[in-house]
Each structure stands twice: as C-alpha cells, then as structure tokens.
Amino acid sequence: MGKVKAAFQTKWPAIVAVKKTQREYQKELMELRLKEEDVGERVMVAGISTWAHTQFHNKLKTLVKDAGVESIPILIQPVRKALPQALRDLTSVALADWSAFLNEINNVNIDTLQEKAKRVKERKEAEKAQNARIARLENQQDPIEVLHLQMQQTSIGTNVRNSEVRTPQRTTGNAPADATTARRPVRYVAANQGQTNQRPRGQPPTQEE
C-alpha cells in the first residue's frame, strides 16, 4: 500500500496552492463593486437569502483584513466613491476608520435604501428612453418632419430670390430739383470791413463800389 501511494504521488504530485499577496488583495479591494441594479434587492448566498448590500459588506470586510489595510483609512474614499449612488448617499463623507465605514454600510435603513434606489433607477430609465429616442431621430427621421423641413427650406429660398429681385432702381433722366439746384455762394467778410463799406443813406455809390 505504501509503494502504491508513493508511486501515485510521484506520478501525480500534490498541487501547492499559491496564496495571494497583500498587493493582490488590495487590487481586488479597489475593484470590488456592488451593481446598481442589486441595491435594495435580495440575493442568494449558499442557499440563504440576504440583502445585496449585506453580502457586499461581508466581502469588503474580508478584503480589508486580507489586504492588511485596516489601519489605512485613506483607501476608504476610493471605495466609497465606487459605491452605487443610493448606498453612497447613506454613508458619511469623511470617516476616520474602516470599522465605522463598514458599520454604516451594514446598518443602513433598508426602506430608505430601497426608496433611493427606486428613484435612481427611474431616473436612469428615463434618461435611457430619452437617449434611445434621440438616436432614432438621428438615424431615421420622420417623413412628415423631413417634408416640413423641405417646405421650410423652399420658402426660405423663395424669400431670398424675391429680395434679390426687389433691388433699388437707379434714377434716370433729370435728377430731382433739390439735388441739381445750384446754391448761391455765400460771401463772408470781416465785421469791420462790412461797417467800412457801408455808405450813408442817400449818398450815391462811388466808383470803387
């Protein structure tokens, strides 16, 4: 029996499991996500029904310990930022340690969480429907809308042509009287000169005048 076991082990040696390093656990911690659609919903774990955020809390707690970051609160903010909005809104912005952060996730009010998750889902569904409608209009325009646009373009083109025809006519023949009438030149003299040239009333003009 011993020879058989030794031969078996020689041919099929035992596989040694490689343990993850703390760096690998830290990477897994930063990549851990709770899906938006699972917030406020129940999930099955090992045949037991539990809340999705509770299961997420358990995984997060284990990774924090395995990654050896229990005394590194600076990593809390990246993890919190990656939480679904409904759950993130129920956690504090600034937390001093992992224990407080994990407790807030595990102890959230389920009714409040479900209400927030419902509003988030409704808003995203409305945005999705609106984006789909915009995409349809961009890819395939409504024939009536296209015809309406064409009529508008035709009307605009007609108005432009009409405005080009109605150009101001050039004047021909005699120009208006006020434009051709010569104005009498005005002679300006100095004030003292005007007084010198004046002659007494009743005296005949001299040759210089």
Q: Which contiguous run of DSSP H or E holds residue 163?
A: helix 143-165
User: What pLDDT, on a 0 to 100 scale, did the predictor assign at position 84?
Assistant: 95
Please tell me the chain's helix, strand, coil percentages from 3-state DSSP, rounded to the nearest 5.
Answer: 60, 5, 35
Q: Where are the domains of the chain?
A: 18-110
What is the rounded distance in angstroms from the CA atom of residue 43 to the CA atom of residue 108?
17
pLDDT tens over the chain, length 209 residues: 677 777 777 777 777 667 889 999 999 999 999 999 999 999 999 999 999 999 999 999 999 999 999 999 999 999 999 999 999 999 999 888 999 999 999 999 999 999 999 999 899 888 888 878 777 776 776 666 656 666 776 765 555 445 444 444 444 445 444 444 445 554 544 445 444 455 555 555 554 44
36 Cβ neighbours under 8 A, 6+ residues apart? 84, 85, 86, 117, 120, 121, 124
Give the max Cα distance, the chain: 169
Residue written as token pair 């024939």: 143
User: What pLDDT, on a 0 to 100 scale, did the predictor assign at position 177?
Assistant: 47
Q: How far is CA 109 from the centre of its chain?
A: 32
Predicted model pTM: 0.57
